[in-house]
Amino acid sequence: MIALGVRGESRTGAAMRGNMCVGDLLPAVRGDAARNRQLRAHRRAGRGFCCAYLAGTPKLVETWGERFWRVAAYGCVLLTALSFLKMYLAFAAAG
């Protein structure tokens, strides 16, 4: 959503950019532990932003780029499902 707000030239994009500015000021008010946690979250969000910015908005005509991002998304969903399965099996074996 943040990448869409940066790319968007509509009022919705301007509103998203405005909310990003307010959200960036919040870590300065909190303590050290919360700030460290917030900085780690910003790094992860930054990686997601870069991927979303590179992917762009969906196109109506399917191109090889659209196909690549769809396959990458399916791969991420599969990896997440396998990770949850591994966690479940580890907890089942321990208990």
What is the rounded CA–CA span in Å between residue 64 and residue 66?
Answer: 5
Mean pLDDT score, 79-86? 96
pLDDT tens by residue, 24-60? 545 555 556 666 666 666 677 777 777 777 777 777 8
Return the ∠ at Cα 81 (arms to 47 and 89), rounded to 5°: 125
Q: Are 53 and 7 spatial neighbours (Cβ–Cβ below 8 Å)?
A: yes
pLDDT of residue 75: 96
pLDDT of residue 69: 86
pLDDT tens by residue, 4-22? 666 666 676 666 666 555 4
Find, among 28, 23, 18, 67, the residue nearest to 45 by Cα: 23
Find, among 49, 75, 78, the residue nearest to 67 by Cα: 75
**Is pLDDT above 70 for 63?**
yes
